[in-house]
Structure 1
Amino acid sequence: MRIDQLLASHYSRKEMKQALAKGQILVDGKAARKLSQNVDTDLQKVIIQGQPAPASKHHYWLLHKPRGVVTANRDAHHATVFDSLASCDWNPDLYALGRLDRDTSGLLLLTDNGPLGYQLLHPDAHVSKTYQVVVNGPLHSDLPALFATGIIFENGYQCRPSQLTILESSAKQSRALIELAEGKFHQVKKMFLAVGVKVISLSRVQFGPFKLNQTLPYGAYRGLTAQEKQALIQILEESR
């Protein structure tokens, strides 16, 4: 939430500007530079004129999305990722950061912090995403170098450089990890089609600082660890 939005119910715009100019708005002990700075009082200590700012009350959940459910708030024909949440953890402002296709599993961050989502998903942020991929053919040893230079689609579009790590390769099936910092529609699937193989299984195992581990089963979710909260604070700091 932006500082001006956080304080709007308690301070006029003029009062906020005056407090900002005098260095009286502090975020974790540092003077805020602008009222548009994104903050979260659940993660940071926000002080204005010596008093704690009102609570922003944002929520964050890491979900292990199973295949077969859609990344949407509601769907007439399929279960959604929000159906996995207990009623006490759901609220209508929650949304998923970075959609996953119905046939794709993996890590999703659910939050009601809109500005944070905008920052993480903006193309200029270059937030990396890592996927575990299974394809229906061999992955040759020259492919990591090709992915590193940027795969080119049939329409001439050149992808940004990505990192391909081949885990195992055989004539019938291969497995790899791919890390990339952009998210075009069906991009991972199209990148492998461009080199002659089809993705038959896709799972996101990392999104920015958040990693999926084996202790979180399909369809389960959890709150953030202290380390993950610190990573979010760093992201918020970078928006200053």
Structure 2
Amino acid sequence: MRRLDQLLSALGYCSRREAMAFVKEGRVKLGGVVVKRSDQRVDSALITVDDEPLEAPDGLLAMLYKPVGYSCTHSEEEGQNIYELLPAHWPDRNPAVTSVGRLDKDTSGLLLVTDIGSLVHRYTSPKSDIEKTYLVEVDRELDPTLIDIFAKGDLMLRSEEKPCLPAKLEIVSSQSARLTITEGRYHQVRRMFASQGWRVENLHRERFGPYVLGDLAEGEWQMLSLEQVAR
């Protein structure tokens, strides 16, 4: 049970002071009955705002199809960012919604966003071993020997002290392939190919752990269930 004004503020609906106005205007109901006090302790599952249930009161996890050209930052100084594609009140949640890891501006594809700190840690920890699959297009014909080079687990990248973990490469066409990795080093996929003399022209993440984009359109997002996610 939480105070109503604290609850609405934490979920990004309004400030604690503005919650008083929400209540005065009759916009908030508890079990279908208009709430009279903003400091009342309530069960979030029974609260509605404008006759709609509260959005993800226990924390949210969503999947976004990030387009090329968008950065994974809250800063407006870097141009377009992914939060422009999400509901405007999500950054006002406390904790604020953030991306799980990052995709650089020139990379498109699946990105998870959440306000649950334990999920961010779980999905980005070096010990997580979560598979990420990328569709890669390069500047010239691929050599099948790359399959073994990436799979051995001894590939060293410049300025790194440890080799990359084994990665699975599937050549799709003469200049495109799918690469599955379990790490998230800085620009890892591009650097892996560059170390062998290939330049990545286009990079798209198709899968993150159990999540795939499916029919999700570019620039769109969808909420994911927390029921099967271990905190």
TM-score (norm 2): 0.70
Contact 1:160 1:181 (8 Å CA) reproduced: yes
Q: 1:80 to 1:196 in 2, by over 3 A?
A: same
- Two-structure CA RMSD over aligned residues (Å): 2.1
User: In structure 2, the residue corresponding to 1:159 is in which secondary structure?
Assistant: coil
Code of the residue aligned with 1:158 in structure 2: it is P
Match of 2:100 in 1: 97
Asked if 1 retains the 8 angstrom alpha-carbon contact of 2:134 and 2:207, the reply is yes
Change (3 A) 1:118 1:139: same
Match of 1:216 in 2: 216
What displacement does 1:208 show?
Answer: 1.2
Is 1:191 the counterpart of 2:153? The answer is no
Following superposition, the deviation at residue 176 of structure 1 comes to 0.5
8 Å CA contact 2:64–2:112 kept in 1: the answer is: yes
Residue 123 of structure 1 aligns to a residue whose secondary structure is coil
Alignment of 1:90-169 (within 5 A): 90-92=91-93, 93-150=96-153, 151-155=155-159, 157-169=162-174
Q: 1:207 corresponds to which residue?
A: 208
- Where structure 1 has 5 or more consecutive residues not aligned to the other structure, the ranges are 1-40, 43-54
Identical amino acids, percent of aligned pairs: 32
CA–CA separation in structure 2 for the residues paired with 1:71 and 1:131: 18
On the 8 A contact 2:133/2:180 being kept in 1, the answer is: yes
- Inter-partner Cα distance in structure 1 for 2:217 and 2:105: 17
Deviation (angstroms), 1:74: 2.4
Cα offset, 1:196, TM superposition: 1.2
Q: Provide Cα deviations, 1:68-112, integer angstroms capped at 9, x if missing partner.
A: 010012221411101001335553410000100011101111100
What's the TM-score once normalised by structure 1's chain length?
Answer: 0.67
Q: Distance in 1 between matches of 2:74 and 2:192?
A: 29
Q: Name the count of aligned residue pairs.
A: 174
Contact 2:136 2:202 in 1 (8 A): yes
Superposed, 1:62-77 pairs within 5 Å as 62-77=63-78
Q: Is the 8 A contact 2:90 2:97 kept in 1?
A: no
Match for 2:163: what amino acid? Q
The secondary structure found in structure 1 opposite 2:76 is coil
In 1, the alpha carbon distance for the partners of 2:157 and 2:74 equals: 32
Where do 5+ consecutive residues of structure 2 fail to align?
1-43, 46-55
Q: Could you tell me how far apart the structure 2 residues matched to 1:88 and 1:56 are?
A: 14
Aligned-pair CA distance for 1:146? 1.3
Q: Determine which structure has more spread, i.e. the larger CA radius of gyration.
A: 2
2:71 and 2:78 in contact (8 A); partners too? no
Q: 1:95 to 1:83 in 2, by over 3 A?
A: same
Question: After the TM superposition, which segments of 4 or more aligned residues of structure 1 sit over 2 Å from their partners?
Answer: 86-92, 150-157
Whether the 8 Å contact between 1:209 and 1:231 is mirrored in structure 2 is no
The amino acid of 1:219's aligned partner reads: G
